[in-house]
Structures are given as C-alpha cells and as structure tokens.
Amino acid sequence: MSTSFAMLVLGGCRSGKSRFAEEWVAARYPRRTFVATMARTDDAEMAQRIALHHQSRSADWRTVEEPLDPLRVLRSRQHETDIFLIDCLTLWITNLLLHELSDAEIEGAVRELAQGVAASAVPVVMVANEVGLGLVPEAPLGRRFRDLAGWTNQQMAAACSHVVLITAGLPLPLKGNLP
C-alpha cells in the first residue's frame, strides 16, 4: 500500500456525488486532472450532459477523456497534476461490457486499477454509482452489470484510504475521516 491518498465517492443517481468530489478536489488542489470515462456517442442528450458536466468545472481543470483505460492516464500524467478525479467507475464498467470483455477480463482490469490507485504517488478520487440498493434487474445483462459494478466498488473501497457515501447531497464517511 502507498501512503498516497485515495478516496472512493459512492452514491445513487443524482445524489450529488460528482459535485461533492469536484468541490472537494477543487478546494484542496491547484493542478487537477478530471479523467472522464464517458465515451462520446451520437446521443444528443448525453452530449448535452457531458457539456454541462464540463461547464460545471472551472477552466483550471485539465480534462482527459479515457473510456477504457483510466490506469493509463494515472501512469502517464502523474507529473502534470496534483490529483486525479476519475468520474465514473460505473460508466467505465459499462464501456468494458460494451466492448465485449469477459467478466474475468473486467475483473482483471479492476484489480489493476485498484493496485494502481493504491500505489499512486498522486492522490486519486474516484466516483461510482452505488447500484446495489435497487431492484434485481430483470435481464441477464443487467444482473451481470449490477454484479460487476458492486464487485468493482468493493475492490476500490478496499484499495482506498477513504470512502464516502453521498445521499441527498450529504456526505457520510464510511472509511476514514474526511480531511
């Protein structure tokens, strides 16, 4: 384990998790890199969401779009930043599923990212959806996604020094005290 700081920010849809993570990082680090895992598509509504997300951050954020390999960004850009904010791990898992990776391949990528975060010389904050509080998905792909997302959150929580659950915009520390 590294002595570096790592935080996982979990929450449901529209819980305020991204806003919390962005504000927390911006208040503490002057050189910050946002690692966006959302893949650009022809979906106009999603393009608008991406634009609004980008506009919510001040111009002093460096944004790197990396839908498949956020670890590559952590390894190659440590000298350019004081902290990484990866948003979001759940979309990253979706991207890996859409690229038809097997569960074993996805689990391997998650393990590598968890190890990379734990060993990073630069602090890392990650955002993920807590998907285990809802209904059991009807379709096999939905259950597969839910299982992989939940397993991913467990692996990342174990690798992080801090874990925070956001509900109704309020942070609830689950691991470590909020600095």
> In the 8-state DSSP scheme, what is residue 70?
H
Token digits of residue 36: 């966006």
Rounded-to-integer distance, Cα 167 and Cα 16, Å: 7
Instruction: Please tell me which residue in 53, 54, 79, 99 is annotated as part of the active site.
Output: 53
Rounded-to-integer distance, Cα 147 and Cα 37, Å: 19
The answer to whether 53 is a known catalytic residue is: yes
Q: How far is CA 109 from the centre of its chain?
A: 14
DSSP 75-143: HHSGGG-SEEEEE-HHHHHHHHHHTT--HHHHHHHHHHHHHHHHH-SS-EEEEEE--TTSPPPSSHHHH
Closest alpha carbon to 135 in 150, 146, 144, 127: 146
Catalytic center residues: 53
